[in-house]
Amino acid sequence: MTAAAADGGGAKPELTAEQEAAEAATQREPWSDAAWTAFASSASGTDAEPWVLEQLLAQFPTSAHYWARLAELHMTHKRWAAAEAVFDRCLPTCPRISLWKLYLVCVRESRLGADSTLPPHRGRAQLKEKYHYVLEEVGASRHADSIWLDFVALLLAEPQVSPMEVRAVFQRAVVVPMEQLDTVWQRYTAFEKEQNEAMAAKHLERLQPKVNAARAVLRDRKLLMDGIVPVNLPTPPTGTREEAKQLGSWQRLIEYEKENPERLSAREELKSRMRNAYKHFLCSFRHFPEVWHDFAAYEARDDVDTACLVLRSAMAVLPRCQLLGFAYAELEEQRGRLEEARSVYDRLLVDSPHPAVWIQLMRFARRTGGQAAGRDVFKSARKSEHCTHHVWAASALMERDANEQHEVARKVFEKGLSEEGFAAQPDYVEAYVSFLESMRADGTKRTNNLRALFEKALQQLPPDRSRVIWRRYLDLEYRSAVGGGDVSTAAELEARYAEAFPDDPSERRLGMFRLLHRYRTMDLLPGSEDDEAYLRRYPALLREDCEHAQRVVPPALAAAVGGSAAAAVRGGGAVGVASGGAGAAAPPPSGSAGGVGRGMGMGMGAAAGGAGITRGAVAAAPTPALGADVPEAVNSFFMRLPPASRAHLSGPVPDADKVLRTLREKPLPARPEDPAGAGKRSFDGMGGHIDVFMDRQKRGKF
């Protein structure tokens, strides 16, 4: 390969027939790992390789392997400036430790190599500066041990060795939970004994507890990290079981790191560690909106500017994701950057046109621009093919609640019925009925009275009984407040809600699902491919959200929760949805109104009667198989079970989800002591081994 070809820039080079065929395969399947790997392999060692690598990295900008290959091409031809430019491009978003190590090799060769034009002392000084910079960035990595040891070796090789400087580096290194921590500790011990045996004992004794703590954290991290496999070419979600397993492993690691296991006292140091952890997470899962949202939520706790930068980057990767877009726009609105917020909605209308986008833009315009601005958006929406009955209902309710124009609201509802044919939409009719029932209320007085009632109720209700009040209160602030509401007030209420349940895993696990109640309109949810793929990954949370909102599962997502989109909570009864466990459920037999299955998805609705009971007619449905990836013996047993229908059961049909949730939220009586000691065992009392790691985490012992 020529040095000119290694530059990689410029026009497309002439490709061989094999390379042309490989390129065509990547165009047919732009997210195919195999196709891109074959394309890169076909160009390996040829003049076309740099150009091919640039095409690959434009599609997969967090592929550490191919960034390293591109940098090595420049390093081979001693194009040090070009190589460092590659590192400048990749390291901010792909901080893999392997790239940082290669970066130091590049710096060493360019400053101290045979071809370097720098004086040796200046080259060593620049290399030291780069080591300090790299260690600030990734010195806390589990695999940074070789960087620390190389830096010590560099310091010891200087003509005038400074023991104080070497000691300072060693003392920073030995408290980092690294794979070769014992080796670093042994080298440090030997160094101190060479300096002064008497003083060595004091230094080592002072640091020993911190080293032991680092070893404990390393053990805990290894339990969480050993199952994580870095993804070389991250693709959009595929829905595989292995993908879900890896995603869950990363999420558990992030939650662990948020607990500050190293007990870092400097807030900025902890934030630097967390940012690095999130960047590594995104290297493998950059197409998963929940990862971006969690990163932004972490930053927003004390740095809204950085949170906005995270969400801006997220929208560059996932421009069609409405949940991320709405969250980003609201954050900009809170900062008073209204033009930027409006531009987010405008881009969504282009990239992801959907009724939900029109509704959120209409509400934003009313909040920030007044009545006329909100009405102008509705006028524009009516010209769009995406203006469904949801947009009309949202406009009518905005007239009632935000504008206090009951007669205008009534006319909007009437026009939707007479001119748009929305009488065939039950949700629209139901919304109109509720509106007519509320017409006697004065808007400002109603809003203030509701706020006072919610605050009074929350003061008197215990936390385990206050969730529904919190949700109704939040709904008021996001949808029904006079004047369109205020996102800062709503955000403060969200923070109070989170503080009310600080240790509740059922609240912490919601993550980005917390956004759904803000952006739902009747049964309409944000509907881009990215949003729907995200919602499908968490079917249990989607079922719970639909149940709390008393709404149907949107048709596009019904299969994810294992049931029919027609399964809804209505009036005094509910129809359950079928569930086949992992994967989509089998459809109900011809002529049936829906089905009720076992396991994960039995029943969606809150009952009108007693807790955990779903009332109403339930059609019989065959018991579906659990799926091909379930052992045959389990499938066989499951298929022999009778369908959960009134033909096989006498009395009311229990709503399993609600029963389990009630059991989870209600305090259970303490287990009686066994005076004979017969119950003592090395188990948790429920047939499972005690989770020592989780127990230590809860007690704060690391």
User: By the 8 A CB rule, do 188 and 172 touch?
Assistant: no
Out of 158-167, 449-458, 581-590, least confident range: 581-590
Of the candidates 100, 76, 80, the one whose C-alpha atom is nearest the C-alpha of residue 276 is 100
3-class secondary structure, 591: coil
Query: In sequence order, what are the beta bridge partners of 683?
Result: 689
686-702 tens-digit pLDDT: 334 444 444 544 544 44
Please state the rounded mean pLDDT for residues 183-188.
95
pLDDT at 161: 84
Token duo for residue 378: 């509705």
CA distance 54 to 67: 9
CB-based contacts of 677-685 (< 8 A; 24+ apart in sequence): none
pLDDT band at 586, cuts 50/70/90?
A: very low
CA distance 650 to 644: 10
pTM check: above 0.75: no
Provide CB contacts within 8 A for 12, sequence distance 6+. 51
pLDDT band at 604, cuts 50/70/90?
A: very low
3-class secondary structure, 117: coil
32-84 tens-digit pLDDT: 999 999 999 999 999 999 999 999 999 999 999 999 999 999 999 999 999 99
Sorted by where each starts, the structural domains of the chain and their CATH numbers stand as 5-225 (1.25.40.10), 288-444+501-508 (1.25.40.10), 538-665 (no CATH)
Please state the rounded mean pLDDT for residues 488-515.
76
CA distance 520 to 540: 18
